[in-house]
Amino acid sequence: MTDSSPTDSPRAQIKRQQIMAAARQLFLAQGYERTSTETIRQAAGISKQTLYVYFPSKVELLSAVVTEELAGFTLAQLRPAPTTLSELRAQLLGLAQGFTRQMMQPDALALLRLLIGEAVHLPELRGTLRRAFPARLLARVEALLSAAHTAGLINAPNLNLSARMLVGPVISFVALDGLLSDQPLGGGPPAPPGLETLTELVDLFLLTVAKGSRG
Amino acid sequence: MTDSSPTDSPRAQIKRQQIMAAARQLFLAQGYERTSTETIRQAAGISKQTLYVYFPSKVELLSAVVTEELAGFTLAQLRPAPTTLSELRAQLLGLAQGFTRQMMQPDALALLRLLIGEAVHLPELRGTLRRAFPARLLARVEALLSAAHTAGLINAPNLNLSARMLVGPVISFVALDGLLSDQPLGGGPPAPPGLETLTELVDLFLLTVAKGSRG
DNA sequence: TTCAAACTGTACTGTACAGTTTGATTTTTC
DNA sequence: GAAAAATCAAACTGTACAGTACAGTTTGAA
């Protein structure tokens, strides 16, 4: 937003990245309030003045970090609409697997924690919530199911609820095992659900949209 | 824990509650770091000295507040093991409904936000996570399904995953619409899913554990 | 009336922090 | 090699905060 960089030269870009990398690590590890600009400047190896040349305030630095971090999350490639149940199954599995793999990383969980805990109190981050990863997954699955429904593959009168039947269990792994478990911070990442579990989940899910299962 | 109350007289109990009520409101609205002991003391209408007589530190006050708040959440009464599918259905619906009704309250969401955002950084709260509400729901549903399975009502080789198939979608409402939506803070509570939606959800879920649907 | 517990207000300690100012020094660019 | 841009260190401003010290006041029961 407020681009107070000295120039937009490659040089300046690099410095920006250098500052953001340092800030990123600290914000994710300690949270926003517990991280001081002094610590950030030390970690970035620059003077305080330079920091404020590149970012007008601490909160704008956070905003830049979070925005970039969020942009790093990707959902599995959008593929052509499925024409068979087996294609649908494969696409759903791909989405579920890609999501959990990325999300169960310590950094991803820390980012989510940061967003959930701080965004309410920081207007600068408010809009970021809408673009948050789990919400994007729900939209994507809903679109996929809609296509499958149009193609006559499945039976789903309530698309949003059906999407939640798949996305919900996936989120439950992240939320319960990732966000709400009390493992010590250094104690390695929480174990993500295995591929077999996700396959089993997708198959259970397909039962709920199978043709003929309801009116 | 550290009980530094002047006495355990009813009088002291009341004062404790009075302080905790003020702190509760502030912590939930603003978060831990953004709430000062000075503000708490003002809201409680007492002197700073008194506050520190009843609670040895700010973080212990938070801990007391969170612990009490969490104790206020209840799951639907434990009922006798279901003997018919229709009983199972009713019990599942009761759990899902009770959970969402409580959880979609602004205060409940704020507490969850506080737990997720702060507990990692405050050893005093770490253990509280294990007792957090959503995790309790999963355990309860799993136990219920186990009983139903023993009674021969359902088919569920993977009890934990099956429980997640119900709990996950319920959590998805809280997580996506409650925690990760960016509605302005004063803008009323997020709309909880209606009873029809939850009924539909339970029925979809039952398809995944219906006898005969898989080996 | 006395006594003890609870409470008050105020001032204070020590610390931490975001952001600014200054004036000098380095680095880049032409 | 000079002008311009970027960076630096360090001191400083103003504020905020957790927790303590203190000296005096209220309250309620014996």
Q: Do B117 and A113 make contact, defined as CB atoms within 8 angstroms?
A: yes
A79-90 tens-digit pLDDT: 999 999 999 999
Whether B214 is in a domain gets the answer: no
Q: What dihedral angle (degrees, nearest 10) is formed by the CA atoms of A193, A197, B140, B62?
A: 10
Q: How does residue B215 score in pLDDT terms, banded at 50, 70 and 90?
A: very low
A172-202 tens-digit pLDDT: 999 999 999 877 556 677 888 999 999 999 9
Q: Is the CB of A56 under 7 A from strand D?
A: no
Q: Is the CB of A48 under 7 A from strand C?
A: yes
Could you tell me the residue range of the domain that residue A187 belongs to?
74-209
Task: Give residues 87 to 116 of B whose Cβ lies within 8 Å of A.
Answer: 113-116
Query: Which is higher by pLDDT, A127 or B35?
Result: B35
Q: In whole angstroms, what is the distance from residue A125 CA to residue A1 CA? A: 13
Q: Is the pLDDT of residue B186 over 80?
A: no
Q: How does residue B9 score in pLDDT terms, banded at 50, 70 and 90?
A: confident
pLDDT confidence of residue B213:
59
User: Domain count of chain A?
Assistant: 2
- Is residue A92 located within the same domain as residue A148? yes
Terminal alpha carbon distance of chain B: 51
Phi, psi of A108, deg, nearest 5? -65, -40
- Is residue B78 located within the same domain as residue B60? no
Task: Give residues 189 to 208 of A whose Cβ lies within 8 Å of B.
Answer: 197, 200-201, 203-205, 207-208
Distance, CA of A64 to chain centre: 16
- End-of-domain residue from the set A18, A46, A70: A70
- Is residue B120 located within the same domain as residue B146? yes
Q: In whole angstroms, what is the distance from residue B39 CA to residue B1 CA? A: 24
Determine if the pTM surpasses 0.75: yes
Residues of B in contact with A158 (CB under 8 A): 197, 200
- End-of-domain residue from the set A53, A70, A87: A70
The mean pLDDT value for B8-26 works out to 90
Joined together, the tokens standing for residue A208 give 């709920």
Q: Do residues B168 and A172 lie in contact, with contact meaning Cβ atoms separated by under 8 Å?
A: yes
Is B118 at the interface with chain A, CB within 8 A?
Answer: yes
Residue type, B83: T
pLDDT confidence of residue A191:
86
Q: Is the pLDDT of residue B4 over 50?
A: no
